[in-house]
Amino acid sequence: MKQYKSTPIKSSEITPPALFFDRRRFMQLTVGASLSGLLPSSVFAGEQLANVKKTTEALSDKLTAYKDITTYNNFYEFGTNKEDPAQNAGSLKTRPWTITVEGEVNKAKVFDIEELLKLAPLEERVYRLRCVEAWSMVIPWVGYSLAELLKRVEPTSKAKYVEFVSLEDHEQMPGQKSATLDWPYREGLRIDEAMHPLTILAVGLYGEVMPKQNGAPIRLVVPWKYGYKSAKSIVKIRLVEEQPVTSWMKAGPSEYGFYSNVNPAVDHPRWTQAKERRIGEFLKRPTLPFNGYADQVAQLYSGMDLIKNF
């Protein structure tokens, strides 16, 4: 399979890691007390990941600020407002944690999170994240290709789709006490989408372990699809023969399809998808087909009606 890398970001646009983390430590020491009532401590106190391989190529887009990435989120398990996850995710316990991989595989297995962290070399992948609500970010994720996990369980010839199931725990996740969605959260990909090298399991961002409000301890990132396609706090991965029904398909079948590819030519029933607002910027910009990854993934959908298969 041909390997793809992210597109380059100019080194002049990146704050040196040492300076970046020193600034955060300084902020924590000097203004932490005054901010404690406004922002969660997890925004300022992350644990750095070891031995992360920096990509030689990344996006030319400017990175979204760490503060924005960690305080402006969709994570309905912790509430429906953008600030709710950062305020409420402190209750999430990320150790111990396991992911069960089962279904149409020859070697079903339960992976401990520490084993998953060592399953493949961790890389920094700078990807765009485009939300169906017409806002976007550019995030330096840390993780590795989902294919690295799937190949270890040996999918059978019947494995046509991959289903992802997130944690359901109403005490740790107060948003699950409401009927916003049918819990637990479920997502799905076609097997070729799941095995594509751009699809990753992310365990961190900005060189640190994944913040709880962003999907700790491990989440899915599929950069050419709308952000809701990226399941967070995953506890189970099932390889199946039939297309799974995802949470958003069940909640709003006329608004959320299985494929969820970024397609500026297909409007959401309640708003346009032709433009987006990059968080940290004032003006909107045109939305790119497949979120700018068409060269890498368009061939996966050759011959498909991308209006019908939204």
CATH number, residue 66: 3.90.420.10
Number of structural domains in the chain? 1
6 to 125, 248, 260, 283, 291: CA distances (angstroms):
7, 28, 21, 25, 13
In the chain, the largest separation of any two C-alpha atoms, in whole Å, equals 58
User: Per the domain annotation, does 5 fall within a domain?
Assistant: no
Q: Which amino acid is at 221?
A: V
pLDDT tens for residues 218-254? 999 999 999 999 999 999 999 999 999 999 999 999 9
Report whether 96 contacts 113 (CB < 8 A).
yes
pLDDT tens for residues 248-301? 999 999 999 999 999 999 999 999 999 999 999 999 999 999 999 999 999 999
User: Per the domain annotation, does 306 fall within a domain?
Assistant: no
What is the predicted pLDDT for the residue at 54? 82
Q: Give the three-state DSSP class for 92.
A: coil
> Domain containing 203: what range?
11-300
User: Per the domain annotation, does 309 fall within a domain?
Assistant: no
pLDDT tens for residues 124-179? 999 999 999 999 999 999 999 999 999 999 999 999 999 999 999 999 999 999 99
Calpha distance 284→266 (Å, rounded): 18
Q: Which amino acid is at 275?
A: K
